[in-house]
Amino acid sequence: MDANELRRRYSAGEKHFPAVNLSRVRLIGAYLPGINLWGANLSGANLAKAKLWGSDLSRANLAQTNLTRANLCGVKLNEANLRGAKLNYAKLYGANLSGAFYDESTRFSRGFDPVSMNMRKF
């Protein structure tokens, strides 16, 4: 699936896309609140400035994904792969990051403490 198809189907009212392959997709500034991308492959995707509040990204592969300035308020990211992801200035209020994986190359906003969010360093 590509970015245009995802946006078209979302605009038509479809919000459930579990385990979809969106590797390297460009969704800069996309408006997708409440979307279900459980277990999706978003590795290397560009979701900078995307509006994803209230979405389910549990167990998604977000390795090397750009989430800079994305709105992730209330997003389920439990057990997601965030290794190498860019989360600079991302809004994470109320997000569930329990069990999410990160590594030394994962970029967080200044002052963000992944340990206090029950994340796991890999």
pLDDT score recorded for residue 9:
98
Contact 42, 25 (CB under 8 A): yes
Contacts of residue 121, Cβ cutoff 8 Å, sequence gap at least 6: 101, 102, 103, 104, 114
CATH code assigned at 12: 2.160.20
pLDDT score recorded for residue 21:
98
Phi-psi region of 59 (alpha: psi -120 to 50; beta: other; left: phi over 0): left
Give me the residue label for tokens 């308020």. 73
Number of structural domains found in the chain: 1
Percent of the chain scoring above 70 in pLDDT: 100
Domain that includes residue 94, residue range: 1-122
- Cα 52 from Cα 47, distance rounded (Å): 9
Average per-residue pLDDT for the chain: 98
Instruction: Encode pLDDT of 44-96 as tens digits.
Output: 999 999 999 999 999 999 999 999 999 999 999 999 999 999 999 999 999 99
